[in-house]
Chain A
């Protein structure tokens, strides 16, 4: 495993690099100490470029951009912001930039950002200037889609661009549901059929669901996977009905969690990190025994991967952006960070785990950079 890991935390950004001759990991940072860093993402079209979503406890949200692999950073000239509200309109303000997604490979410099309250923003100059995507932010149904905002604010995340078509987009609101656009963000429609929403009065509601993480498979983009507040799902387009593949998880473990990670080349393989979603939702490892589960058959079966993880009394929480793969072949590396400030590396697709950093602040995101 030789990837570089960017760690976004509640108190700044950290970097984990493999040690000399592949021995151990070297932690550096913090950068932006004291900033709340939700996401740090490398531009696959221009690998020297990184974009970071950050704010502090006092100050408004912003975006930083690096053009030298994270050695130096410069603040966006125009961070994501809603348009000025007219009279009698809801006056929304971005509270945090939560999610970043690079645009289509053919659209160099294009990025998308998701915010809380739920808003979609687009940059066409590598993250310097951000514009609100009016087709979503001003959609007449948007107030209904994001009606069940939690006290901490609804989150727009999981922005996915179809690798075959830059105008075909998916996004998720938590809570609110999954939405699709086929015209570059001008129009949007809910895509939640088949997903459970056992917290809603109407279990068959077209929206209002709570997707925690939605991923389009990069090499088979008609296949989507979703880790939802109410289960793990798969969708094979052009179908519109999600299939609950989490039903095949062990009953004692269940299929609740935040992240879902896909194998970059095998559309049948995915990993999840289950958490306790019973009673009052502790959101910790089930029974204090953390494990990653892998499917290699599209969700028909799941295998527990816990070698090297603590066998008991380990109450980890792994947030939706805090698990990733390095995509390497043939021995793919998996990584996750915990809200307790530990980073774990799973060699060979998660077959064995070891802790590669601890004592960090609360981890919000773990992303790989080439």
Chain B
């Protein structure tokens, strides 16, 4: 199952500047794994080694914030990666 992922500017060095990319997976965790396969290193910048979303990263599926990486993702969904403000 393929969905759309919207990439924020701090992570576009991994996607060769692409703002939206396609990724596979039936859950957010699987989508992140798919991103990692295509854009090595990108997952660890968003999710730490304990599989926790990093403090200044927010993930949304469509309009709903993701708290649990097992949250299902459908083929018509868009996963938004948001960089939360983090000072000067």
Contacts and interface: CB of A to CB of B under 8 A. Distances in A.
Interface of A: 34, 56-60, 62, 75-77, 79, 81-85, 91-94
A75 B41 contact: yes
Contact of A59 (B46, B49, B51, B87): B46
A60 B52 contact: no
A220 B50 CA distance: 42
18 contacts: A57-B86, A58-B8, A58-B10, A58-B54, A58-B56, A58-B57, A59-B83, A60-B44, A60-B45, A60-B46, A75-B40, A75-B41, A79-B41, A79-B44, A91-B50, A92-B50, A93-B50, A94-B48
B77 to A, nearest CB: 23
Interface of B: 8, 10-11, 40-41, 44-52, 54, 56-57, 83-84, 86-87
A60 B48 contact: yes
Given A75-B41, A82-B49, A84-B50, 18 more contacts: A58-B54, A58-B83, A59-B54, A59-B56, A59-B57, A60-B46, A60-B48, A60-B54, A75-B40, A77-B40, A79-B44, A81-B44, A81-B48, A81-B49, A82-B50, A85-B50, A92-B50, A94-B49
B49 A93 contact: yes
A81 B51 CA distance: 11
Contacts of B50: 82, 84-85, 91-93
Contact of B49 (A58, A75, A83): A83
A26 to B, nearest CB: 27
Contacts of A34: 10
Given A59-B10, A59-B11, A59-B46, A91 B40 contact: no
B70 to A, nearest CB: 16
B14 to A, nearest CB: 9
Residue with the greatest number of chain B CB neighbours at <10 A, chosen from A60, A62, A81: A60
A223 B5 CA distance: 55
Nearest to A91: B50
What's the dominant secondary structure at chain B's contact region? loop
Contacts of A58: 8, 10, 54, 56-57, 83-84, 86
Given A81-B49, A85-B50, A93-B50, A62 B44 contact: yes
A57 B44 contact: no
Contact of B10 (A56, A77, A82, A91): A56
B36 to A, nearest CB: 11
A9 to B, nearest CB: 14
| Ranked 6 nearest A-B pairs via Cβ | A93-B48, A81-B49, A57-B86, A59-B45, A58-B83, A91-B50
A84 B49 contact: yes
A269 to B, nearest CB: 40
Nearest to A132: B49
B50 to A, nearest CB: 4
Nearest to B44: A60
B44 A93 contact: no
A94 B52 CA distance: 12
A84 B46 CA distance: 16
Nearest to A56: B10
Nearest to B82: A58
A102 to B, nearest CB: 23
A91 B45 contact: no
Contact of A57 (B8, B41, B87): B87
Contacts of A57: 56, 86-87
Nearest to B41: A75
A303 to B, nearest CB: 40
Contacts of B44: 60, 62, 79, 81
A34 B88 CA distance: 10
A58 B8 CA distance: 10
A233 B44 CA distance: 39
A126 to B, nearest CB: 16
B49 A77 contact: no
Contacts of B40: 75, 77
Nearest to A55: B45
A39 B8 CA distance: 26
A82 B49 CA distance: 7
